[in-house]
Amino acid sequence: MAGPLPNEQLQTFKEVLQNQGPAAATAKINAYLEEQDNIPLHIAVTGETGSGKSTFVNAFRGIDNKDENAAPTGCVETTMKVESYPHPQFPNVTLWDLPGIGTSNFPADKYLELVGFEKFDFFIIISADRFRENDVKLALKIQKMGKKFYFVRSKIDNSMREAKRSQRAFNIEDTLKKIRDDCIKGLENQDIRSPQVFPVSSFDLHLYDFHLLMETLERELPAHKRDVLLLAMPIVNLEIINKKKEALQSKIKYLAAGSALVAAAPVSGLSLAFDLNMLVINAMVYKNTFRLDPKSLQSLADSAGVPLHDLRAEMKSPLALEKISSEVIINVLKVSVFQLALIAAEEVSRFIPFFGLAAAAAISYASTYRALTTILNMLAEDAQRVFRKALGLDTSV
């Protein structure tokens, strides 16, 4: 069943509908959805030369270091100015690769002013070993100005290999805890209040503490920015797929309401054409959000060391396997006889005297809600199977 309409935002749309008519209400809903899709999120990534800033930026965006759109990486300082890198699927999310702290062009005492402190939602301070004097100076300045910052201990895979070679009774969790505790103690001794440290490997985001970093960001971001982060997050565990699905599901009632208002317009065929176009657009958004597009799949295959063919074999929906079009959407929805009956009934009910328009709107809301939910569920299930395969988990679950 479609979700209930009553909430503050939908009440606003209802008032516009009553006072100004369907066209104005539809425009209001579309403006709201466009606004939500374009909420900006600016993430600053900084640290000293060679700390792995650019590799982290690329990993977060799901881009290989060799990609033409990647932030340049190297053994020497490759970031000579403030560089912006929009997320490939969500351009409203921008990661900013900042020059190393304390370089000749960016001295520590003027660093925040030179990089444009105000525009960033939060800072990620990266170090490949211990956090140094300039990292602490920057954190203290950010702390004083009241913005959030997080410490990432990068290249942790190298530290793990060294620990494994040198320790008789090597334990990953014990070693991670020791590294975290040592970093936290050192930062607290430098007057950093409650520092949060996350050991991360940018080449293996599903390992170590990257998921804890994402959970912390999600928890501490303002409410209106949480879904923005969620949709752009790299998929590093099955829970992120579920969270992405929930964020996408929360928008369906607004899309269905827009469909219902178009259905109220007495123009035969208009609503069906509108709905199909809207279904195609959102199916493509879902596919990209779950990283089921060809480029993301290839990147996952390369990083996981799993043949691309094996990953594609886990995708059962035509929406994942084929280029999304109106024809593909219609074929997918043919599986549900009731769904087709609802869509067909809409055109008939529109012209029933006295109550036809209200019936058409109700049917359109229900059918659009069901169709989008069906599409979302199919692609989320494919994403779960693909990710399980990439990690060598049981794909029959």
Domains assigned to the chain? 8-37+242-391 (no CATH), 41-234 (3.40.50.300)
pLDDT at 355: 42
pLDDT (0 to 100) of residue 4: 40
Percent over 90 (pLDDT), the chain: 40
Here the tokens at position 30 are: 């579309």
Confidence of residue 130 (pLDDT cuts 50, 70, 90): confident
Residue whose C-alpha is closest to residue 44's, from 92, 87, 84? 84
Q: Hey, what are 195's tokens?
A: 């520092």
Q: Where is average pLDDT lowest: 11-25, 71-85, 97-111? A: 71-85
The residue with tokens 């999310």 is 93
- Length of the chain in terms of residues written: 397
Provide the mean pLDDT of the chain: 84
- For the beta sheet containing 83-86, the strands, ordered from the edge strand earlier in sequence to the opposite edge, are 83-86, 93-97, 41-47, 122-127, 148-153, 197-199
Distance of CA 94 to CAs 58, 280, 288, Å?
A: 11, 26, 17
Provide the 8-state DSSP code for 354. T
Question: Can you tell me the distance from the alpha carbon of 345 to that of 277, in angstroms, rounded to the nearest whole number?
Answer: 19
List all residues 6 or more positions away from 292 whose beta carbon is below 8 Å from its beta carbon.
315, 320, 379, 382, 383, 386
Q: Provide the pLDDT for residue 288.
A: 94
Q: What is the CA radius of gyration of the chain?
A: 24
Check pLDDT > 50 for residue 1.
Answer: no
Q: Return the SS3 of 150.
A: strand
Whether 98 has a pLDDT exceeding 90, the answer reads: no
| Count of other CB atoms within 10 angstroms of residue 294 | 10
**Interval 207-227 mean pLDDT:** 93
Which residues have a Cβ under 8 Å from the Cβ of 19 and sit 6 or more positions away? none
- Classify the C-alpha dihedral 356-362-365-368 as positive or negative: negative
Question: Does 101 have pLDDT greater than 80?
Answer: no
What is this structure's pTM? 0.84
Q: Closest Cα to residue 259, out of 346, 196, 194?
A: 346
pLDDT band at 186 (very low <50, low <70, confident <90, very high): very high
User: For 300-355, how does the pLDDT look when each residue is reduced to its tens digit (9 = 90+)?
Assistant: 888 888 999 999 999 999 998 888 998 888 888 876 545 555 555 555 555 555 44
More confident residue, 264 or 113: 113
